[in-house]
Every structure is written in structure tokens, then in C-alpha cells.
Amino acid sequence: MTVPRRSQLNHLKYLTSTAQSCFDASFKNTRLTEASQFYSSLIQQCLHTRSLLDVGIVQTHMIKSGYIHLHIGNKLIDASLKCGSISYARKLFDELPNRHIVMWNSMISSYISHKKSKEGIGLYERMVLDGVYPDEYTFSCVFKAFSNLGLINEGRRAHGLSVVLGLEVSNVFVGSALVDMYAKFGRMKDARLVSNRVVDKDVVLFTALIVGYSQQGDDDEALEVFGNMINQGIKANEYTFASILITCGNLEDLTNGKLVHGLVIKSGYEPAVASQTSLLTMYARCGLIDDSLRIFKRFPNPNHVTWTSLIVGLVRNGREELALTKFRKMIHKSIVPNSFTLSSALQACSSLAMIDEGKQIHATVTKFGLDRDLYAGAALVNLYGKCGSTEMARFVFDALIDIDVVSMNSMIYSYAQNGFGHEALQLFNSMKELGLEPNEVTILSVLLACNNSGLVHEGCQIFATFMNNQTIELTRDHYACMVDLLGRSGRLEEAEALVKQVRNPDVVLWRTLLSACKLHGEVEMAERAVNKVLELAPGDEGSHILLTNVYASTGNWSQVIGIKSTMRDLKFKKNPAMSWVGVDREVHTFMAGDLSHPRSREINETLEKLIEKVKLLGYVPDTRFVLQGMDEELKKRSLYYHSEKLAISFALLMSSNKNTIIRIFKNLRVCGDCHSWIKFVTKVSGREIIARDAKRFHHFKDGLCSCGDYW
């Protein structure tokens, strides 16, 4: 029996008007095979037209004819699924009196592939209760569903059943699915045990194991598994290569990375997008960003993953300006960025303190509906914090729907580096109410907040609380922060004792103590600290410079001359102090006494006027901060032309709008005299000034600074 070829509409009319009489006349004397062929041809036409309505009509006539054959029933379910209706397929499935394993598998896999893992697992459990034994296809589907929902106990029970049915060891598909499930649960020991028991391993199983180890941060094991796979003569595929290249990048293992690159070329997978993107990432993580750029140029049409990998790599390698250029090109080419792309672009803006560019990217984040995304949100908080805009950082933070420890750390750190210690502590204390557990970064950020605000008692309490905490191990960074807090507050003996508590204290700890000695003119302790630094790093420039400053601050010029002579012999070169300021989207850089700026005459005139005005309010140049042996009047003149003073004078020259905040940046710490001078300038100019130095932000307004003079 054949069905006439008609349009979909005519075909429906044909079925409706003639099917019943056709069925009545035909099926009374038609053999089973002919009926099967008849319905199969109808279902085939349903698939051709993708019409669910046709499927329904065929089913109706099958019921009326009393013909519900197992084979045809499965075809009906398959047609319903291919027509896009999993609910109708389930209705057909439930109505069938007998269900073959193929039907069960079709329904279970469809649920899971449509991100309905819960329904898929429910059907699997019903299947087992009905006495239908799962096969390898069933297990490979449900193991994925268990990992999707994080149901480790249920996954273990299904694993047990696969063992009873003899499928765990003998079937590589089941073995690979099990390895993948345990890897996603983070149970790599279980994943490895399953892998070892599978008789005939394939590339899929090895790849699942490699990805699992890599995602759990155990890249050495991932590399070992890859080596075992190659030694067993199993050829890697595109996804294996992509995963192991990322592993080499994580380890910054350029040697093995290049070896794998050679295998990629030999295997013919180099043109594949996944391999190319992973190669780009690997070279970027190994510091060869120019190689990454060359690989990127080979892409005819890079996708958002490739663009993101490049931008992340550029930021990681300190090429923030180029990263932002690439980001703009990506947007221009209508490639939609994801939260990782935007987070990296925002990180580039943070490093360069480009708040205007950051605001534009913030608008892009909002445009794509990612302003409440945790990654993008944390990056925005970090951006505004590093640009000195804590109010905007808090606005973004409060708008986040879900707050995790990363976004919380970003906000606490924003407060910390801007000198708002009490606000940082308040946020830290609220973590328990929000159900968030602090981690190492949280503790470091809150200690920094105490340090930058002079909250010595609070910092000591927090440090003591976590010193014996079993869940958080304090690192040298935590100790360095506490040494700085104690040292800057004048508690030098306690600071030195804390350094000695650390097993094998490093250069950073001793240099931190040395900085505190410089601040308080403690010569003997400074000499001890310098000796320790030079034991660990004989060529350390910073310690020589700091000791020179210690001697200079106490007027010991003979020692200053001696150390400077040693530094010349060792060919040390001190980095000059520099300040820069952005005006009309252009960055202007200044050094002390610098006359190279095209408008230096006008800058100096503005500066001279400011000095006269602030003197009337009580400013007195503090010559203690001139660490050179010279006449007192010359010391005062040298203070007048510090880089930060020149930068602020230029900003005031170029902008008379009192509502515009002046933002300056310095590569070293702001000196004490400039700190005092800037406070007076905010009074005479009525302007708010934000200064970001090597350690923190200072918010100057109405003659006051956010640091409370604990600079």
C-alpha cells in the first residue's frame, strides 16, 4: 500500500477524509508486514514535513485500527522527538502497552540532551523498577545526568548496577561515562580506579581523565595520563590535544607544550579551532604572547572563545592597551562577548586606571545583560575600586543578585586600597550572616584595610583569630601585611618578632620591616634587616635604597655616600619617581623638576601661585623628606617640584570645573610633604583630588585625606 505524494495540507485532508475507510477496507485482510510498511511510510512523511499534527493523526488511526505494534510505536516516539515535542513523545510512550529498551533510551537521552536531567533520571529509575535492564547506552546517558545535577550517591548506585550487569569493565562507553561523571564530581581517585579497570581503553576515556585532572588543578597527573595514552598507541583527537595544551599552559611548561604542538601538526589537527585556541592559550600562559598573536592571525573567522583567549593572554602578559584594542575590534566585528571577555577587558582598564574606558565597557556589560553576572560584577567592583571610585564600586556590588566570596573580596579590597577600613570591616563582619566563608584573599584584604586605615587593634585581633584556624592557612603575604601594620604604627620590636616567627622568612618580609625602620629612623634594626635581605638576594637594589634613606633621614651622610658608592659599583639604578594624569583622554607624565612638557612654563606659574596660596593657609615645606645633603632653602625648592605637584598643577591649569575630580597616579609612594601640600590645595582650589600611589589610594577633599594621615 502506498501513500500519494501531496502537500502537507492536502496530505492532512487526505488522511482525515479517507483514512478510516481505507483502514477498514485494507486491514481486515492485510498481513502484519504490509501494515507495518504502510505506517512506516506515513511516519516517514511526517518526518519529511516535520509535522507533529501528522504524527497525531497516524497515532489516532493506529489506535482505531487496533494496531499498536512495538516497532512502529518506537518510530512514532522517534518522529515526535524529531518534530520537537518531547512532551508528546512522553504521552505516546506512556500509552504504549509494551516498551522496548530502545524506547526507554530514546526518551531518557532526549530529556538529558534538552537539559531536563531530573526527568531523565526519573524515567531511568522507573525503567529499573519495571524490570527493564539498562544497557550501555542508558548508562552513558544517565551518568551525565547525575553529574549535571551533582547527585553523587545516585550516580554511585547506578555505577553499582553497571558492575552487576558486567558493563563497567567490558564496555568502554560505560567506562568513559563513569570517568567523566567522577571527574565532574571532583572524585579523581574514583575516576582513575574506573579507568584502570576498563579493559579496552579508548581516546574518549583518556580525554575524560585528562580534562578531569586539569579542571581539578592536578595538571601533572593530566600530563602523566596523556603520556600513558601515547605510550599505549592510542591516538589523541582534537579535544585531547586542546585539553593537554591547556594543561601545559597551566604548568607554564613550554618544553612539553612545544612537544604537544609538534604532535598536533603531525596528527593534522593544527587547523582545528579547538587546537588553535588552546595553542594560543598555552603560549600566552608561558609568556610567549607574540607567538599567541601569530597564531591568532591564522584564524579566518575567530569565534568569541578565541577572541577571549587572546584578550585574557594579553592582559596576563601586561599588554593591557593591546588587549583593549583587540576588544574594540571584537565588538566592531559584532562578536558577542561573554562574561569572561568583559571581565578581562575590565581588568585591563583597572591596571591602566582607565575609568572612562571602563565606564564604556560597563555600558557594554549592561547592554548584554551581564551587569548582575558574578564574574563581570566582581570585575566592575575591582575596576571602580582601583580607579578610586568606591561609591560606584558599592553601587555595582549592591546590584548583584547573588553575592559570592569573589565579589565580596573585590568589594572589601576596594575599600582597603582606598583607605576605608571601617567600611571594609563592616562588610567582612556581614559575611557570616550571608552564609559566606572567608578565604585567604578575604583575610589579606581585610588586613590591608586595617593597615591603610591605621586600625592596629582590629588588625591584630583578626590576625590572631585566623593564626590558629584549621581551614585557612596564613601565608607570607598575611605576615608581611601584619609586619607593615605593626611597623608603621611604631611597634617595631613586635614586627621584627613576627618576621622571626615565619619559617624561612623571605626578602619581602625583611624588606617590609626595613621600610618601617626607614619611616621611624630605626638604624640598628634596619641594618639587621638589610643583612637578612642581602643574604637571600645579594643583588637586591631596593634594600640598598631603603637603607640609604634610613641613614639620610638621621643625617648620617657618610653612610649615605658609602652605600651610593657601592650601588654605583654594582651598577644599580634607582627608578625615578613619576606621576601621571589623564586630561582629555590623553595621559601626561611628569618627573621631579621636569621641564620637558610643552606647557612647562604655564605649569610652573600655576604651581608657584598654588604654593603662595597654601602658605597663607599654613603650609610649611617639610624638608625631612629631602634625603640629600644640601642647603635648607635648596631642600625647600626641590620639594616644590616633585612629580605629583607638577601633575596636579597641570590638571588645574587645564580644567577649571570644580565638579571634575582630579586623578593622579604615582609609581612610588606619595611623599609626606606632597601629602600635606595636596590637602591644602583642595582647600584653596575647592577641588577633590584622588591620588593612587604604589600602595593605595588617597582621597583628598576639603583639606582632609581618607587615610587620616596614616599614609
HSE of 249 in the Cβ direction (CA atoms, 13 Å)?
25
> Which residue did the predictor score with more confidence, 271 or 539?
271
Question: Contact at 8 Å (CB) between 399 and 433?
Answer: no
Q: What are phi and psi of 338, to 5 degrees?
A: -105, -175
Q: Calculate the average pLDDT of the chain.
A: 84
- The sign of the dihedral angle between the CA atoms of 599, 602, 608, 610 is negative
Is the per-residue pLDDT at 208 higher than 50?
yes
Q: Give the DSSP letter string of 323-372.
A: HHHHHHHHHHTTPPP-HHHHHHHHHHHHHHT-HHHHHHHHHHHHHTT-TT
Alpha-carbon gap, residue 314 to 336, rounded angstroms: 19
Residues 6+ away with beta carbon under 8 Å from 552: 560, 627, 628, 629
Retrieve residue 89's grid coordinates. Answer: 513523545
> Which residue did the predictor score with more confidence, 121 or 55?
121
Domain ranges of the chain: 33-93, 99-200, 403-474, 479-574, 579-705
Q: What is the pLDDT of residue 19?
A: 42
Retrieve residue 86's grid coordinates. Answer: 518531547
Q: What mean pLDDT do residues 196-200 have?
A: 88
Q: What mean pLDDT do residues 398-403 have?
A: 89
Per-residue exposure over 235-259, b if at least 16 CB sit within 10 Å of its own CB, e if not: ebbbbbbbbbbbbbbbbebbebbee
**What is the torsion angle, in degrees rounded to the nearest 10, for the CA atoms of residue 396, residue 400, residue 403 and residue 405?**
-30
Kindly report the CA angle at 188 between 185 and 193, in degrees rounded to 5? Answer: 120
Is the per-residue pLDDT at 57 higher than 80?
no
Strands 689-692, 662-666: pairing is parallel
Is the per-residue pLDDT at 96 higher than 70?
yes
Band (71; pLDDT cuts 50, 70, 90): low
Question: Contact at 8 Å (CB) between 330 and 338?
Answer: no
Name the least confident of 76-80, 152-156, 411-415, 666-670: 76-80
Q: What mean pLDDT do residues 324-329 have?
A: 95
What confidence tens digit (pLDDT) does each residue in 508-517 have? 898 899 888 8
Q: Give the DSSP letter string of 154-223.
A: HHHHHHHHHHHTT-TTT-HHHHHHHHHHHHHTT-HHHHHHHHHH-SS--HHHHHHHHHHHHHTT-HHHHH
Q: What mean pLDDT do residues 440-468 have?
A: 93
Q: What are phi and psi of 686, to 5 degrees?
A: 70, 15
Q: Which amino acid is at 58?
A: V
Q: What is the pLDDT of residue 49?
A: 57
Q: What mean pLDDT do residues 377-395 have?
A: 93
What confidence tens digit (pLDDT) does each residue in 98-107 have? 788 888 998 8
Strands 697-701, 586-591: pairing is unpaired
Question: Contact at 8 Å (CB) between 681 and 711?
Answer: no
Band (41; pLDDT cuts 50, 70, 90): low
Q: What is the pLDDT of residue 694?
A: 82
Is the per-residue pLDDT at 18 higher than 50?
no
Name the least confident of 129-133, 302-306, 513-517: 513-517
Count CB neighbours of 11 within 10 A.
21
Sequence-separated contacts (24+) of 55-63 with Cβ below 8 Å: 55/79, 55/80, 55/83, 55/88, 56/88, 57/12, 57/15, 57/16, 57/19, 58/15, 59/92, 61/15, 61/19, 61/20, 61/23
Q: What mean pLDDT do residues 674-700 have?
A: 91
Is the per-residue pLDDT at 79 higher than 50?
yes
Alpha-carbon gap, residue 467 to 385, rounded angstroms: 28
Per-residue exposure over 327-357, b if at least 16 CB sit within 10 Å of its own CB, e if not: beebbeeebebbbbbbbbbbbbbbebbbbeb
What confidence tens digit (pLDDT) does each residue in 111-120 have? 998 889 999 9
Question: Contact at 8 Å (CB) between 546 and 518?
Answer: yes
Retrieve residue 509's grid coordinates. Answer: 618580609
What confidence tens digit (pLDDT) does each residue in 217-230 have? 999 999 999 999 99
Q: What is the pLDDT of residue 538?
A: 74
Band (22; pLDDT cuts 50, 70, 90): very low
Domain 479-574, CATH 1.10.3470 — does that match? no
What confidence tens digit (pLDDT) does each residue in 648-675 have? 999 999 987 888 899 998 888 888 889 9
Band (426; pLDDT cuts 50, 70, 90): very high
What confidence tens digit (pLDDT) does each residue in 223-253 have? 999 999 999 999 999 999 999 999 999 999 9
Alpha-carbon gap, residue 215 to 246, rounded angstroms: 10
Q: Which of 342, 443, 350, 343 is nearest to 388 (CA)?
A: 350
Alpha-carbon gap, residue 399 to 387, rounded angstroms: 19
Band (402; pLDDT cuts 50, 70, 90): confident
Q: What mean pLDDT do residues 258-269 have?
A: 93
Q: What is the pLDDT of residue 669?
A: 84
DSSP state of 83: T
> Which residue did the predictor score with more confidence, 35 or 384?
384
Percent of residues, the chain, with pLDDT higher than 90:
52
Q: What is the pLDDT of residue 707?
A: 81
